Amino acid sequence: MTDNIIEVNNISFNVGHEKILSGVDFSIVKGERVTITGPSGGGKSTLLKIIASILTPTKGNIVYKGKDVSEIDPIDYRKEVSYFFQNATLFDQTVRDNLAFPYEIRDEEFNETKSVTMLERLKLNRSYLDKEVKDLSGGEKQRVALVRNLLYKPEVILLDEVTSSLDAENKDIIYSILDELNEEDNMTILSVTHDEREINKADRIIRILDGKVAEQ
């Protein structure tokens, strides 16, 4: 019985005649913290979107818990494998509306107490629930988006340069919660980053160069 939670098998991705990824292979063990690095334009974010099932590979497949992702209902998969965009993707309404969404897709009642607890873990108090998204700073938006992704704790979180545009304070807050999730909840974290601090926290580093795994 394998301990691999995600297997990336011979992934290639083309746009027209241009090869973005070619024959990418690696696996990730449950609870592992893996960072993908490499030059800009090398295919890192494309690979993360394929693992998130946002993009479909030209060749190869992704296996999650022993099952081909193409055979898993996308909604069910995304409940367990949560993708976090570089720029926070929030509805142009209130923070409450955004945090209610994970409950709505599960036909469950909004849990305000849990939502406030998660906001407070990310240094946002109860008053943020009724703030308009348009009035939040970039760092606050990222933290709200992270809360929304974590209200139902996924098995795996995929992070695409999520701290690249944040100041030191916001980076510290996000790194702190990620450390807790990985160390205390054994959450698997796969991130794309150029941030040295984030790279240093990784159990393993996978370097992508010209669409291929250069080292891991």
Q: How many other β-carbons are positioned within 10 Å of the β-carbon of residue 139?
A: 20
DSSP 8-class letter at 53:
T
Domain residue spans of the chain: 4-215
Q: What is the CATH number of domain 4-215?
A: 3.40.50.300
Question: What pLDDT score was predicted for residue 2?
Answer: 64
- pLDDT, mean of each 10-residue run, the chain (216 residues): 88 95 97 94 94 96 97 93 84 92 92 96 95 93 91 94 85 90 94 90 94 84
Q: How far is the C-alpha of 101 from the C-alpha of 91, rounded, in Å?
A: 10
Residue 49 near residue 27, CB atoms below 8 Å: no
Amino acid at 142: Q
Question: What pLDDT score was predicted for residue 202?
Answer: 94
